[in-house]
Structure 1
Amino acid sequence: MKGNTNKILVFSTAYYPFVGGAEVAIKEITDHLYKDFQFDLITARFDKNLPYVEKVGKVTVYRLGSGKPKLDKLLLPFRGAILAWKLTNKEKYYCLWAVMVTFGSGAGFILNICRKLSGKGRIPIVLTLQEGDSENHLQYKWAGLIALSWKLALRSTDLLTGISNFLIDRAKKNGYRGNAVLVPNGVDLSIFSQEIKDSVKKDLLIKLDKKPDDIFLVTAGRLTHKNAIDDVVSALVTLPKNVVFIVIGKGDEGVNLQAQARKLGVADRVKFLGFIPYEDIPKYFSISDIFIRPSRSEGFGNSFIEAMAAGLPVIATPVGGIVDFIDDCETGVFCSPDNPQSISKAVMTLSGDFNLKSKIIENAKNRVRERYGWDKIALEMKNVFDRLA
């Protein structure tokens, strides 16, 4: 098929207003590349109050479903393929962009199967890996169906991008033999490197009741098992009582984490803030002392580089894609996975060594500025699309 040389059809299970690392990446890249490419996107509707079609930034978004999340997700590969068939007949896309191996991207692969069977010819697919799940989840969840979907998707991919070396290596271990390009996620430096007004900080200090000698640990992201928020709660038991944990985000583990904090007697030192708008997160970072997420698995970890850009020292685990941007005691401090005692030691190391903390903050800021601005990331993705043009 000879398509329009600047029109790309994107497949993503979720999209704005539902926001995670993958959704932020799609929006930032499409916002930066709108002069070079035209983007349409197929996604699940999830909420009956959302329009079926609308312009979000520079992307025309097509939402499918009745607004029932589970049903919309399960039917998305098939509904998405039907809509994509109609769109590709009308718009002549030269490239499909599948984001993650999931329900949304499945529509793109099914579309190509149908096109091949009908004699129309398949459209080249760029697959971007963003997954942060563990190897155990990949291999055994849903009786191995996730592992099977990975193998099938990788076999049908023309060009692979991964947000970390870890994910590219995982793809190769699962049978991918084609070209692969490292294109990490980025950070909006205008948001996370901005100076926060003293009046805003003062209001937050009062709101969160931060005392002069308090040390605020902060985390941001989904409250899931893989992010190991429970290990930080456990670590509070052995940390000084002036160490307080600020939790930004929602998720399935929220109720369990609150129960755990009560059971351990540290509920007064864990503040669950729930959902905070993306552009407001830097305000909370500005009155915190250490960013922490002792992940059990991680594809990349946008929140880490956002905290680094904001000038917060980071405590992390050397798992998955984290090792691409954190060097121990240079751009962050490592603790061990599933080890609250190691977390306590890392917190005390950072809070007790001013010179180390200052060095890490400066090095981390420089690394983010040099590698992870969206201007740079979008250009790298443009080069990927150009290879298929």
Structure 2
Amino acid sequence: MKKILIISLAYFPNHVGGAEVAIKEITNRITPEDIEFHMVTLALEKGLPKEEKIRNVVVHRVGFGNTGILNKFLFQFSAAWKALSLHRKNQYDAIWAMMAHSSGAPAALFKFFKPRVPYILTLQEGDPPERIERMMWPLWPLFSRAFKRADVVQAISVFLGEWARRRGFKGSLEVVPNGVDTRHFSREYPARAIDEVKDTLGKRMGDVFLITTSRLVRKNALDNVIAALPLLPENVRFIILGTGPLEAELKEQARSSKLEARTLFLGQIGHDELPKYLKACDIFIRPSRSEGMGNSFVEAMAAGLPVIATQEGGIADFLFDEKRNPDKPITGFAVDTDSPEQIAAQVKHVMEHPEKVRAVIATACAMVMEKDDWDIIAKDMRERVFMPLLERGDN
């Protein structure tokens, strides 16, 4: 049995994003008899145990139990010391840092003191690399070493893999995307269950509902969707699932544009209910300004919705447009960044070409089933990332 120590700024039960879901889904599918996973993470709220086992991961928490900036900054050092302490006790066969900007510095510190322990860096970042680099300037020497001292980099997109190379990484690079619970999102519901959601949303016969599942932050560019609504027929409305710092600003944009009746902010919807909301709507949209990959797009494809998006960052790995990617099977409808006019044009195109849209939906759904199911992703992580590195350490 091998042992891997994960370093992750956040984890279950209450602080969960795409990176944390990836850890859970991957480790759940690798038996403890094969690889035993431990984790150093930050206590982001009071009352959480210092140590507990969450499915296949033994979680060790450090920090003050709050979400403050100081707590997160000190994690860059306290996580390294905790990792070194745990290593003396457990003799890990590798360490695995989840995201360079939040866990790369402690991994680099650990690697400085334990250079013979193999080090895996996963890149899941969604913000533009330039913004991340500015943010990490106070810790630049450690941030830089987080890339250069990694033995393997696993990136969830080609875009993030190229970033690793620009940052000086010269080792083995594996592009393994995030996965999707395909059974959950492709599940067929009774018509009554979907009709209940439509009633909740106020959807009438003939309405066309755009939907997004997104953090309300600048990079997701929901302001551009709201700006596109006046260019679309009155029966087109925009359903927004998610929360974030721009919520008040986006609501004010809708109010000042007299679009309150056509924009519906529903906040956070539980994972179990999400597929029903997707299936009650007609088009998924998120015209991102930047994106590491974007699980929400792939979830929408699995749920059977046409997807309108930019091809920024990792989106270009799976969203192929008829005009922009004539050599690829068409899986979505692309727009430029910051172009409400193109958003409106693509929405109209989807509304006016139902036969073409059905074919695109079928192609996208088949792609997701073939490449993005978590069973496939976990197998790829084990066989392409973990085991080659662990077996190399045996030699």
What TM-score, normalized by structure 1, do the two folds share? 0.94
> Which residue of 162, 166, 175 maps to 1:169?
162
CA distance in 1, matches of 2:143, 2:104: 11
Displacement of 1:20: 1.2
Alignment of 1:182-261 (within 5 A): 182-261=175-254
Amino acid at match of 2:371: R
Amino acid at match of 2:289: R
CA distance in 1, matches of 2:312, 2:235: 29
CA distance in 1, matches of 2:230, 2:61: 46
CA distance in 1, matches of 2:106, 2:132: 20
CA contact (8 A) 1:139 1:146 kept: no
> Which residue of 295, 302, 305 maps to 1:309?
302
CA contact (8 A) 1:315 1:332 kept: yes
Alignment of 1:1-389 (within 5 A): 5-16=1-12, 17-35=14-32, 36-70=34-68, 71-115=70-114, 121-141=115-135, 144-145=137-138, 150-329=143-322, 330-383=330-383, 384-389=385-390
CA contact (8 A) 2:109 2:142 kept: no
Displacement of 1:57: 2.0
CA distance in 1, matches of 2:255, 2:293: 31
Deviations 1:302-349 (A, max 9, x none): 001000001010001011111111110310000110111110011111
CA distance in 1, matches of 2:132, 2:223: 22
Displacement of 1:54: 1.9
Q: 1:89 to 1:147 in 2, by over 3 A?
A: closer
Partner SS state of residue 272, structure 2: helix
CA contact (8 A) 1:43 1:104 kept: no
Q: 1:246 to 1:54 in 2, by over 3 A?
A: same
Partner SS state of residue 9, structure 1: strand
Partner SS state of residue 100, structure 2: coil
Relative to structure 2, which stretch is displaced further, 303-312 or 266-275?
266-275
Displacement of 1:59: 1.0
CA distance in 2, matches of 1:122, 1:74: 27
Amino acid at match of 1:348: K
Deviations 1:96-153 (A, max 9, x none): 00011123342222122234xxxxx5411000111111143134346x4476654221
Question: Tell me, which stretches of 5 or more residues in structure 2 are unaligned?
Answer: 323-329, 391-395
Q: 1:49 to 1:262 in 2, by over 3 A?
A: farther
Deviations 1:258-293 (A, max 9, x none): 111111111111111111112221110010100000
CA distance in 1, matches of 2:77, 2:71: 10
Deviating 4+ runs (over 6 angstroms): none
Partner SS state of residue 281, structure 2: coil
CA contact (8 A) 1:101 1:149 kept: no
Q: 1:53 to 1:221 in 2, by over 3 A?
A: farther
Relative to structure 2, which stretch is displaced further, 196-205 or 264-273?
196-205
Deviations 1:56-103 (A, max 9, x none): 221111222222212321111221112111210111110000011123
CA RMSD, Structure 1 to Structure 2 (Å): 1.5
Question: Tell me, which stretches of 5 or more residues in structure 1 are unaligned?
Answer: 116-120
Deviations 1:10-46 (A, max 9, x none): 0111111212111111110000112421111111111
Relative to structure 2, which stretch is displaced further, 95-104 or 285-294?
95-104
Q: 1:96 to 1:179 in 2, by over 3 A?
A: same
Amino acid at match of 1:20: G
Tell me the equivalent position of 2:393: none
Partner SS state of residue 343, structure 1: helix
Amino acid at match of 1:59: V
CA distance in 2, matches of 1:263, 1:45: 41
Displacement of 1:365: 0.6
CA contact (8 A) 2:289 2:337 kept: yes
What TM-score, normalized by structure 2, do the two folds share? 0.92
The alignment-based identity, stated in percent, is 41
Q: 1:42 to 1:105 in 2, by over 3 A?
A: farther
Tell me the equivalent position of 2:325: none
